[in-house]
Amino acid sequence: MPLPIEIHLYNTLSRALEPLRPAEDARLRMYTCGLTVYDYGHIGNYRTFVAVDILQRFLESEGYHLETVLNLTDIDDKMIDRAQRAGRSVREHAEIYARAFAQDMEFLGLRRPDHLVRATDFIPDMIAWIERLVAAGHAYASQGSVYFRVSSFPAYGRLSGKPLEELQSGARVDSDQYEKEQARDFVLWKAHKPGEPAWPSPWGPGRPGWHIECSVMSMKLLGESFDLHAGGADLIFPHHENEIAQSEAVTGRTFVRHWLHVEFLLVNGEKMSKSLGNYYTLRDLAAQGFHASGIRYLLASVPYRRQLNFTLDGLRQAEAAVERLRAFGDRLRRATLENADNVELQAAIEAAGLRFRGSLAENLNTAGALAAIFDLLRAGNQALDQNAMGLGHREAIERLLARFDSIFGIIETDDRRRMEAYGNELHPVEATLADEAVEQLLARRAAARLERNYALADQLRTQLETAGIVVEDTRDGQVRWRRK
Ligand code: AMP
Ligand code: ZN
């Protein structure tokens, strides 16, 4: 066990790096907002989950005991919409993509959380919590729905830095929301609409709003006040802001001490997202021959608070970097060594170890940690070239590589076995691009060609093909497409 080291993480709430100090001895309780299982996760989603995975592995290697929760959102507007379009019940639809998520986790080697939970298993708890909010005057029922009264919680806006006055307060601006007291109030319980799943409640049949789901699940499993809450940067507002309001309005206690947000993964400067259609799933990439280790490397190569621009070329480079690490490991193992004095190498190994750990301890600087490992690789290769490595050096290098790999999970990964996570299903169960998304990508491809940006045009075409869309350029300059 290494000597204790102070770990600093950026806290979105205080907008500063803060030492991580668990409330109870070394036990850290952490909740991560998981996937909405209406479709496959894309690698933007997995950027967030890989960052969380690396953080959790690092904390454990530093002696912390973690209790972790990851949720799957299996009921919300998108779930209902997509299930209806696919002609399935919401439950069946969620089942398909929850299973796909489990395959993705296995493929990427993500640690299993202590609790992998689904929102629909906690509906009675959500109703009970909403009742407490209503009883305390923080929420009100209106036409079978229940809303949170934002004006009753003066701290609203602290996380996102949006002052309360700035949020629209004018009532009845949106015809769809006419039954709210104020436009900024948000829904806790949605009255039943025909064709939607519903649960009985004191306000009539309906279903929970998305935000209340995470508040209730996290507090039920981790307590009313816990250490860490993570998610992508898109969740700061309104999702996490609303979670704080719903939770603290009842408990009067700090809901979460440390808020961690992972910046976006971008494609051509835009956020990778399902609605823009500019995304890759893990199985898309696996079907193209990319490996779990390369994907993990790429996702970890940029510190989590900086945006990461995804390109297939970047992924190829990441795969090459993984190969260099593996080749170095093999070379070390095979080398015939005797005891050798090499003060310089000894110093380089120690420096790499310090830099590796110090980088991760300083707001999970994964890029710094990787750079330390490549420093080690260079020093090691040079010593091997000069026949100047001793047995003790090798042992120390292998120890550091093993520690690196226990956190990053890319060297000793059997990539071929990882593919087995998908069985025979490397082809999507259904086309993942909606018609509108295909049209949008085609329009962008046309624009790229007009600007003579053929690299981008080709990339967009590959993206479409990966999603099973065949694009044909006809002789009269028209573009036709069909699904494979
Ligand atoms: P969703 O399925 O949209 O609820 O997202 C699941 C998780 O992935 C959430 O924590 C999101 O914030 C995160 N996420 C979504 N898109 C991206 C992206 N492009 N880059 C990084 N994280 C993302
Ligand atoms: Zn959430």
Measure the CA–CA gap between 346 and 349, rounded to whole angstroms. Answer: 5
Half-sphere exposure of 193 (CA within 13 A, CB side): 8
Which of 105, 108, 234, 235 to mutate to test ligand 1, by most ligand atoms within 8 A of the CB atom?
234
3-state secondary structure of 345: helix
Measure the CA–CA gap between 89 and 96, rounded to whole angstroms. Answer: 11
- Is residue 182 within 8 Å of residue 167, measured between CB atoms? no
Q: Tell me, what's the pLDDT at 440?
A: 84
3-state secondary structure string across 38-57: CCCCEHHHHHHHHHHHHHHH
Q: Which CATH architecture has domain 321-412?
A: Up-down Bundle (1.20)
Same fold? 8-262, 321-412: no
CA 294, 295, 301 angle in degrees (round to 5)? Answer: 85
Residue nearest atom 6 of ligand 1, based on CA coordinates: 35
Q: Tell me, what's the pLDDT at 400?
A: 98
Q: Tell me, what's the pLDDT at 172?
A: 39
Residue 259's DSSP bridge partners are 229
35 in contact with ligand 1, CB cutoff 6 A: yes
Measure the CA–CA gap between 50 and 56, rounded to whole angstroms. Answer: 10
Instruction: Read off the pTM.
Output: 0.88
Q: Tell me, what's the pLDDT at 171?
A: 42
236 in contact with ligand 1, CB cutoff 6 A: no
Q: Tell me, what's the pLDDT at 199?
A: 98
Please report, for the chain, the start and end positions of each structural domain, with discontinuous segments joined by +: 8-262, 321-412, 435-483
Which of 48, 211, 213, 267 to mutate to test ligand 1, by most ligand atoms within 8 A of the CB atom?
48
The CATH classification of domain 8-262, taken from the options 3.90.25.10, 3.40.50.920, 3.30.70.1230, 3.40.50.620? 3.40.50.620
User: Which residue type occupies 3?
Assistant: L
Q: Tell me, what's the pLDDT at 203?
A: 98
Main-chain dihedrals φ then ψ at residue 36, nearest 5 degrees = -90, 115
pLDDT along the chain (484 residues), means of 10: 83 97 81 97 97 98 95 95 94 97 97 97 98 98 97 95 70 54 95 96 97 98 97 97 98 97 94 88 92 98 98 96 98 93 97 98 98 98 96 97 98 92 68 75 88 83 80 86 84
210 in contact with ligand 1, CB cutoff 6 A: no
User: Which residue type occupies 368?
Assistant: G
Q: Which atom number of ligand 1 is nearest to the Cα of residue 47? A: 21
Residue nearest atom 5 of ligand 1, based on CA coordinates: 35
